[in-house]
Structure 1
Amino acid sequence: MTMCKSVQFLCGNILKKSYFFNYHKCLFSSSPLFPGAKTTWTEQLEFTEKNSYHPIPVYRVMDRQGNILNSNEDPKLSTATIIKMYKDMSLLNIMDKILYESQRQGRISFYMTNHGEEATHIGSAAALNNDDVVYGQYREVGVLIWRGFTLQQFVDQCYGNKDDAGKGRQMPVHYGSKELNFITISSPLGTQMPQAVGSAYALRGKNNVVICYFGDGAASEGDAHAAFNFAATLDCPVILFCRNNGYAISTPVEEQYRGDGIASRGPSYGIHTLRVDGNDVFAVYNATKKAKEVALSENKPVLIEALTYRVGDHSTSDDSSAYRSPEEVTLWATNDYPTNKLRYYMETRGLWSKEEEEKWAQQARKDVLTAFNAGEKKLKPKWTEMFDEVRQQQEMVEHVKKYKDYYPVEKFENI
C-alpha cells in the first residue's frame, strides 16, 4: 500500500478525529495550513508594511455643513430624538464650562471637559438600551446624560457632598450608576477594558451587550491588547469603542503608534472593525447600532474607532497650549465641531431656529446653575462613612484580634 493510500485509509476510518483529518488535508492542499494562519504561499521575499494595503476608510453620514451625503445612510431618526441629541450635546457643553470654572475658582478639586467629543457620547448612547452595560474611561459624560443621570447627580459627585452616591470617596468626574448600568469610573488607565470583556462573556446568550469606551492613549496599555485577544477568542458580545481624539494628555498620536490608528488592530485580532467620523453623531449612531446587531447575533466583539478631536485641555491639571498651537484648536472648534454640525442639519430642515437656540441656551444654563448652587451648599458626608461598606476595615479588625500579642493597642477591647 502506498503512502498516499495509507493516509487515505487512515482518514477514512478515523474521519471524526480532527488531527488525522487535518493531516490528510495538509498533504493534498496547495495552500499552507499551518495552525494559526490563514494565508497563501509566495516565492517573493518582501516585507508586509503599512504601505502594503489601503488604510481603513472613515465612515461618515454628514459633511461639515450638516448635509447628508448619501440618503441611504440617513438613520431617519424622529424629530424628538434628533432634538434630544442636540440638547444633550449642548447641555454637556454648558455644564462643562460651569464646572470647569468652578475648579478654577477652587470650589472643586478637579474636572475634565468633553469639548469636541460630544457626538461620540450621544451617538453611541442613542443606539443602545439602558440595559446594555457601560464601562467608561472618564470622558463619557454624555452617555450618562442620555440615560437620565441628572444635573444634580453630576454636581453632587463633583462636590463629593452628602448626596454623592460614592459618598465622597472618588475624585470628581468618576461617575457611576447601578440603575443606569454605568460602571463606576476608575482612575487607572485601561483597567476597564478586560473587565468589560469579562462582563460580556458572562452576558453571552442574553439580549444585551457591553460597550467599553477608551482613548487612543489607553490603547497603548497592555490591558487593551489582553482585552482584544480575550474578546475575540472567547466570542464576547462587547463593543470596544475607541475615542481617538488625537492626544493622550500631551502625547500626540504620531508619537504613540506608527500603524493605521487603532482600527487596524481589530483585524489582526480577528475582530469586526469600523472606523467612523467621531464628529458626526449620525455616523456614530449607525456604527454603534450595527456593532450591537453583530455582537448579539454572532456573539462577537466589534471594534469602533471614532476619529475626533479634543478641543479642551485634557483636564484642569493640563495646559494644552504647551504642546499644541491655539490655531490648531481653533481650526477644529470652528470647522468641524460636532454640536455645530448637528445644528446646521437641524436648521436646514426647519427643526431648529435661532429663537429656540437662545431660549434653550438660557434654560440649560439656568438648570446647571440651579444644580450647582444646590450642590455647593450641601454638607460633606460623615467622616465615618469612609469606612462603611469597606471590607478591609473588618479584615483589619480580625487580623489585629488574631495577632493581638504583636499589636500593643491601647483599649484593645473597644476595637
Structure 2
Amino acid sequence: MTQQPGSPGFGPDLAEVFGPSQSDGGPELVQLLTPEGERVEHPDFRFDSGDVPEDEAIRGFYRDMVLTRRIDTEATALQRHGELGIWAQLLGQEAAQIGAGRALRPQDYVFPTYREHGVAYCRGVDPLNLLGLFRGVDHGGWNPNDNNFGLYTIVIGAQCLHATGYAMGMQRDGVVGTGDPDRDAAVIAHFGDGASSQGDVNEAFIFAASYNAPVVFFCQNNQWAISEPIERQTRIPLYQRALGFGFPGIRVDGNDVLATYAVTQAALQRAREGQGPTFVEAYTYRMGAHTTTDDPTRYRLSDDVEHWKLKDPIARVEVYLKRNGLAEDDFFAAVRTEADELGHHLREGCRALPDPSPLSMFDHVYAEMTDELAAERDGFAAYLESFEGAH
C-alpha cells in the first residue's frame, strides 16, 4: 500500500508495492488466510476482532457468508422461475462483502452499487426488500436512514460521487477527527472494476483527494466488466491508480474474509481520524454471471472458473475451523438449517410481495406534497376511476 505522511505502519514503501501484476493477485496482495485454510502473518495488517473472541468472530463470518450465498442462490432461482425480472449475482464475492460490511461502525454510511447483497445483510436490510427492487414492485423498500445503507445505484459509478459529497458533509458536521469513537464516522463506496473506468468514479477521486474526504473507495475487482476482462481495462493494478490522485491504495485478497475485514477496518479508521480517502481493491472473481441475463460461457474459459473455485471464500474458512477444532458438526448443521429457513422465507415472501398501487408513484417524491404534484395525482386518480365498472 502506498504510504502517506501521518499514517505510520499503513503500508510499505512505494518501491516495494509496485510489483508486477500476477494472476494470483501479485506479491503485493494482503492475505491472512490462504485458500488452504492456513493463517499467515502480514507485516502491516492483522485480524483484530475487538471485544468479540476471535474464534467466535470467525464463526460469525462463516455464518454470514453462507447466508449471503443462500440469498444469492434463492434469488437466482426465483428469477429463473419468473418471479424476478433480473438478479445481479455475487457468487464468489461473499468474503469481500462480509469483510467490508462487518468492519463498519453504526455511524458509518454505505453507498452501494447493485450487487452488495452481503453488505446490505450486514447492515440489517431485509433481503425481501432487495427482491422487491428486482421484482419491480418498489424502488428499494428500505429507509436508508434506518441502517445508514443507501439505495442501490444502477447508474454505473454514480454512487462514488454521492459518497464523496456525503463524506464532505460529515466533515462540515464535525463528526470526523474528533477522537470520539462513538462519533467519528466515515463513508464507504462500493463499485466494480468496470465502474473504475467511468468518469464519475475518477471525478469522485479528485474531489475526495482535494478535500481530504473521509471516504473509502472499495472496488470489488471480480475480473470482468460484464464481458470485458480486467487486462483490457487497465495497464496497471487498479489499486495503484490511487497514487495519481494523491491517496493510498491497497490490494487485498477479496476471497479472504479476515484480510478484507482487517484492511477495510484500517482504511475506515484512517478516514474517521481525518486522514482522508483510501482505495481498497478486493481482488476476487465473479463465479456467476454478471446478471441473470448474461451468459459468461460466451467470453470466459471454464479453466479460469475451476481455478477460482479452489479459492472459494467459504470453503477456506470451513477448512480452517475444522482443522483447528474451532467448530463442531452441530455448528455447521445449525448454519445449514438457518440457511434453509432463510431460503423458505425468501421464496414465500417474494411471491407474497404486493403489486404497488399506481398512485404510489406520487408518494415520497418530495418531503411535502407540492400543489402541482397533488394536482397530477388527483388527475391520474380520476383517470383510473374512469375504468371502474367498464367491461
2:109 aligns with 133
Length-normalised TM-score, structure 1: 0.76
For 2:289 and 2:374, locate their aligned partners in 1 and report how far apart those are by CA, in whole Å: 46
Aligned: 1:340 with 2:315: yes
One of 209, 223, 248 as aligned partner of 1:232: 209
SS of the residue 1:125 aligns to: helix
For 2:244 and 2:37, locate their aligned partners in 1 and report how far apart those are by CA, in whole Å: 34
Displacement, 1:93?
Answer: 1.1
1:357 aligns with 332
CA contact (8 A) 1:175 1:185 kept: no
CA contact (8 A) 1:155 1:372 kept: no
What do you get for the CA RMSD once the two structures are aligned? 2.7
1:147 aligns with 123
One of 19, 37, 47 as aligned partner of 1:54: 19
SS of the residue 2:217 aligns to: strand
Q: Which runs of 5+ in 1 are unaligned?
A: 1-49, 162-167, 401-409
Aligned: 1:67 with 2:38: yes
Q: Tell me which amino acid in the other structure corresponds to 2:238.
A: I
CA contact (8 A) 2:83 2:350 kept: no
For 1:254 and 1:176, locate their aligned partners in 2 and report how far apart those are by CA, in whole Å: 38
SS of the residue 1:70 aligns to: coil
For 2:279 and 2:258, locate their aligned partners in 1 and report how far apart those are by CA, in whole Å: 18
Identity %: 30
For 2:18 and 2:121, locate their aligned partners in 1 and report how far apart those are by CA, in whole Å: 40
Displacement, 1:178?
Answer: 2.3
Greater Rg over alpha carbons, structure = 1
Q: Which runs of 5+ in 2 are unaligned?
A: 1-14, 21-26, 176-183, 377-381, 384-391
Displacement, 1:147?
Answer: 2.1
For 2:136 and 2:375, locate their aligned partners in 1 and report how far apart those are by CA, in whole Å: 31
CA contact (8 A) 1:177 1:183 kept: yes
Show the 5 A alignment for 1:5-404.
Answer: 54-55=19-20, 57-70=28-41, 73-77=45-49, 78=53, 79-161=55-137, 168-169=138-139, 177-204=144-171, 205-206=174-175, 207-258=184-235, 260-333=236-309, 335-391=310-366, 394=370
For 2:302 and 2:153, locate their aligned partners in 1 and report how far apart those are by CA, in whole Å: 31
Inter-CA distance 201–106: structure 2 relative to 1 (3 Å threshold): same
For 2:224 and 2:319, locate their aligned partners in 1 and report how far apart those are by CA, in whole Å: 27
Displacement, 1:236?
Answer: 0.3
For 1:177 and 1:248, locate their aligned partners in 2 and report how far apart those are by CA, in whole Å: 27
Q: Tell me which amino acid in the other structure corresponds to 2:362.
A: F
For 2:125 and 2:139, locate their aligned partners in 1 and report how far apart those are by CA, in whole Å: 19
Inter-CA distance 160–75: structure 2 relative to 1 (3 Å threshold): same
Inter-CA distance 116–222: structure 2 relative to 1 (3 Å threshold): same
Length-normalised TM-score, structure 2: 0.80
Displacement, 1:395?
Answer: 7.4
SS of the residue 1:178 aligns to: helix
Name whichever of 374-383 and 65-74 sits farther off. 65-74
Q: Tell me which amino acid in the other structure corresponds to 1:178.
A: N
Count of aligned positions: 341
CA contact (8 A) 1:159 1:376 kept: no
Name whichever of 360-369 and 72-81 sits farther off. 72-81
For 2:48 and 2:186, locate their aligned partners in 1 and report how far apart those are by CA, in whole Å: 24
For 1:273 and 1:355, locate their aligned partners in 2 and report how far apart those are by CA, in whole Å: 41
